[in-house]
Amino acid sequence: MKKQKCIEQGWLTNCRQIPSPHFDERLDSGDISLLVIHYISLPPEQFGGGYIDDFFQGKLDPKLHPYFEKIHQMRVSAHCLIDRQGVITQYVNFNERAWHAGVSSFEGREKCNDFSIGIELEGSNEQPFTEAQYQSLQRLTKCIMAVYPKITPERIVGHTDISPGRKIDPGQYFDWGRYLKDIQS
């Protein structure tokens, strides 16, 4: 029997889905060739609460936290989030362009959103990521690489690598050695 595909038409199968309006068409969906790892927490340093879902949907309530007042009108997204429990949520079809990288460049090519997939880990620069997050990230990355083979280990980067000076995520606690070993095992 054929193994069920982990991605069908750009969506993870058997995955929590919260479609975000913050995306547009890729110029060339055959061009998907970079994976960008980020972290996010809302409010900063706090986990849970569902505010990342709200933020990516453009529904963050500015009255709930002073920080939300500053960011609630930003139109951003990522393809996926992995929360502290390892639960994956997909917001944007992989074949569409999510708005996660901003001003960025990889090997001389700008606008990394055009040709990348963005994964957010719920986290910060103050706390290690969880075991469940590494396990889900490993599974998700292997699945993405199988469907988008132009994404090779050399073409998996942190946000800070493509937006140096402007971004620090995924930060000091992200264990690149472990992750890159995990995905090649």
Report the interface residues with Zn ion, using CB under 5 A: 38, 159, 169
Pick the catalytic residue: 8, 96, 110, 120?
A: 120
Smallest gap, in angstroms, from Cβ of residue 54 to Zn ion? 18
Nearest CB to Zn ion, comparing residues 22 and 159: 159
Handedness of CA 26, 179, 150, 103 (dihedral sign): positive
Contacts by 173-176, CB closer than 8 A, 24 or more apart: 173/123, 173/125, 173/126, 173/127, 173/128, 173/129, 174/37, 174/39, 174/121, 174/123, 174/129, 175/129, 175/134
Q: Is the peptide bond before 21 cis (omega within 30 degrees of 0)?
A: no
Residue 126 known to be catalytic: no
Is residue 74 within 8 Å of 68, Cβ to Cβ? Answer: no
Which pairing describes strands 16-17 and 88-90: parallel, antiparallel, or unpaired? parallel
Nearest CB to Zn ion, comparing residues 103 and 146: 103
Nearest CB to Zn ion, comparing residues 77 and 136: 77
Smallest gap, in angstroms, from Cβ of residue 9 to Zn ion? 26
Smallest gap, in angstroms, from Cβ of residue 8 to Zn ion? 27
Nearest CB to Zn ion, comparing residues 99 and 148: 99
Smallest gap, in angstroms, from Cβ of residue 180 to Zn ion? 19
Active site residues: 120
